[in-house]
Amino acid sequence: MQILGLFQNDSDMLQLEILDLSGRKINSVEIENFTRNANQAGFVLTNHGTAPGIYFYRLIAENRVLQSGKIVIAPK
């Protein structure tokens, strides 16, 4: 799995939640090493044990949802 996030953030730690299509959280990953440029930050996340499929995600910092959407995790 690879996810590239681009968002505005001042926090030092992020949490990425992966949810199935019914909204049930199936994976959660803490992200500490991400890049910053001006008022934006980004990261690339590689496989963290989530099976291929269609999912929703939430990017959270300091108990606030920064970004959410739909992702497709393709087989290797």
CATH of the domain at 50: 2.60.40
Q: What integer pLDDT is reported at residue 20 of this predicted model?
A: 95
Q: What integer pLDDT is reported at residue 24 of this predicted model?
A: 97
User: E strand or H helix at 40, and its extent?
Assistant: strand 40-45
Q: What domain count does the chain have? A: 1
**Rounded Cα gap, residues 53 and 61, in angstroms:** 25
**Rounded Cα gap, residues 20 and 54, in angstroms:** 7
- The total of other beta-carbon atoms located within 10 Å of residue 52's CB is 11
Q: pLDDT digits over 31-66, tens only?
A: 776 665 655 556 666 666 788 899 999 988 888 888
Residue 39: give the domain boundaries.
Answer: 3-73
